[in-house]
């Protein structure tokens, strides 16, 4: 799916912050400023938190995926259950695992191997371990490949299901002609088979894991085992996909802005030195590094039009009537490049976040639909990026591709081409090897500590 993010921004400049369109029989609103998004998606979150039943979503989710459920009692039940696992105290305990996984990542980069499977293993293993109590310790773990195949199928099949299912009056066609429904059924069943297997094994596995806790809590709320399997699917795939996409965006930003990257390394060298890896405890002492990460998330939105909301009942905004079931897109690109909020928005300027720490970062959504795992995601991003930039120079044989070019896609999974991670010095290499060799790789004590924190929540 091709998009023109600057095209919508130009429309906003010409027609105003709210654009109304008629597309495939639907009324569509595109919101282009932070003020409008706040007025509708935040202040009126009760009626603007539904999800549209268009395109691919309902054909393969069949009401089983919380992220595509409309706001209501069932969504509230599931959201309440999953939110328990993202409370700040519990999220802090996940740092034990994120520390280990990122140590393995920077250690394996010493081999000079292609970084792509190493990044993918890291992005998959962190949520998988918490969910199912089993690490994906190697790139050839069967689950790593199975999940990769599933994600590729999701990207490929959803595109066709969305395209065919969005045809006006498509639902009125005879069932034999609804090929997208068969595709959705096939994908739905495949997801269930895979995550039924993972969840069943996790429930039987000794030690603590999310899947066991979720199964118990879901059952208490009268929700089915099938719904549990789709919830863990959603958590695993969302965590992997977002980590993978954002890591690549940050690395591309580092390649395209070498002067800013040098400033990050200077700060890391000053605060951390060469005798140890950066740690979570360093986060408050690394203001420029944190600003760099925030700017990388803002600078090139990985979802240019955001995730669509839907209006649950008729509404009026500044004299304009908005009918029920209107599809509402927060134009992420326009929001992140709003000159009234971000001066020189096309420039990569981490300094803006130091000058004004209250700048809005909307990567994780809005209102009641804001991502409950945002703090966990930010921790994963922080520890992986700071350790990679602390220990390695980024050497590329090709001119780095500006993510602006790939922002014309609905979702961009591409990694930088021709990129190698070259260790900065022999001392950095020794530190990486020492810390990995000394790391406790036994999951039992790590998961036990997470369990202790979970019982406090």
Binding-site positions for heme read 371
Query: Partners of 328 in the beta sheet?
Result: 29, 309
Question: Tokens 């000058």 — which residue?
Answer: 355
Nearest to 217 by CA among 196, 204, 231, 205: 231
Please tell me the distance from the alpha carbon of residue 111 to that of residue 185, in angstroms, as a whole number: 42
CB 403 within 8 A of CB 296: no
CB 379 within 8 A of CB 98: yes
CB-based burial of residue 321 (10 Å sphere; 0-12 exposed, 13-18 middle, 19+ buried)?
A: exposed
CA distance 87 to 83: 7
Beta partners for 392? 423
Name 29's bridge partners: 20, 328
Q: Are strands 327-330 and 26-31 parallel, antiparallel or unpaired?
A: parallel
Dist CA 365 CA 360 (whole Å)? 11
CA distances from 448 to 27, 123, 235, 427, 439 (A): 50, 22, 21, 34, 17
Q: How far is CA 97 from CA 109, 440, 442, 446, in A?
A: 19, 10, 10, 7
Rounded to whole angstroms, the Cα distance separating 388 from 123 reads 14
Distance CA 355, CA 357 (A): 6
DSSP lists the bridge partners of residue 26 as 23
Which single residue is written with the structure tokens 């995730």?
A: 307
- Cα 110 versus chain centre, distance: 27
The Cα–Cα gap between 155 and 245 comes to 13
CA dist 428 to 174, 255, 271, 388, 420, Å? 65, 21, 15, 11, 16
| H or E element in which residue 176 lies | none
Residue 424: helix, strand or coil by DSSP? coil
According to DSSP, the residues that pair with 321 across neighbouring strands are 316
428: three-class secondary structure by DSSP: helix
DSSP 8-state class, residue 399 = P
């Amino acid at each position: 799916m091709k998009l023109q993010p600057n095209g919508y921004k130009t429309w906003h400049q010409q027609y105003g912050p709210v654009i109304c369109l008629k597309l495939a029989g639907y009324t569509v609103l595109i919101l282009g400023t932070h003020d409008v998004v706040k007025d509708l998606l935040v202040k009126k979150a009760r009626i603007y938190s539904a999800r549209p039943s268009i395109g691919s979503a309902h054909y393969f989710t069949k009401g089983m995926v919380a992220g595509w459920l409309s706001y209501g009692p069932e969504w509230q039940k599931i959201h309440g259950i999953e939110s328990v696992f993202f409370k700040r105290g519990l999220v802090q305990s996940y740092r034990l695992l994120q520390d280990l996984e990122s140590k393995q990542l920077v250690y394996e980069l010493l081999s000079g191997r292609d970084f792509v499977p190493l990044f993918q293993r890291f992005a998959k293993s962190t949520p998988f371990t918490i969910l199912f109590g089993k690490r994906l310790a190697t790139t050839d773990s069967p689950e790593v490949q199975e999940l990769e195949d599933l994600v590729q199928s999701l990207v490929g099949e959803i595109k066709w299901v969305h395209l065919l299912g969005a045809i006006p009056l498509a639902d009125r066609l005879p069932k034999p002609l609804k090929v997208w429904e068969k595709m959705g059924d096939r994908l739905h069943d495949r997801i269930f088979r895979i995550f039924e297997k993972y969840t069943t094994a996790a429930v039987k596995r000794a030690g603590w894991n999310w899947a066991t806790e979720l199964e118990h809590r879901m059952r208490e709320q009268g929700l089915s085992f099938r719904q549990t399997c789709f919830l863990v699917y959603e958590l695993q795939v969302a965590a992997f996909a977002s980590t993978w996409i954002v890591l690549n965006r940050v690395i591309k930003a580092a390649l395209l802005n070498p002067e800013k990257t040098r400033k990050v390394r200077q700060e890391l060298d000053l605060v951390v030195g060469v005798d140890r890896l950066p740690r979570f405890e360093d986060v408050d002492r690394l203001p420029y590094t944190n600003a760099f990460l925030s700017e990388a998330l803002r600078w090139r939105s990985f979802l240019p039009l955001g995730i669509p909301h839907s209006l649950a009942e008729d509404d009026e905004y500044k004299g304009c009537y908005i009918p029920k079931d209107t599809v509402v897109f927060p134009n992420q690109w326009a929001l992140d490049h709003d000159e009234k909020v971000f001066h020189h928005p096309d420039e990569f300027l981490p300094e803006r976040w130091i000058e004004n720490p209250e700048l809005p970062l909307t990567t994780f959504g809005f209102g009641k639909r804001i991502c409950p795992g945002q703090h966990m995601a930010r921790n994963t991003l922080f520890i992986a990026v700071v350790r990679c930039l602390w220990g390695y120079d980024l050497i590329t044989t090709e001119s780095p591709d500006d993510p602006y070019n790939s922002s014309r896609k609905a979702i961009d999974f591409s990694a930088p081409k021709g990129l190698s991670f070259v260790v900065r010095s022999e001392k950095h290499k020794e530190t990486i090897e020492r810390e990995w060799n000394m790391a406790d790789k036994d999951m039992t004590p790590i998961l036990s500590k997470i369990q202790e924190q979970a019982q406090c929540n």
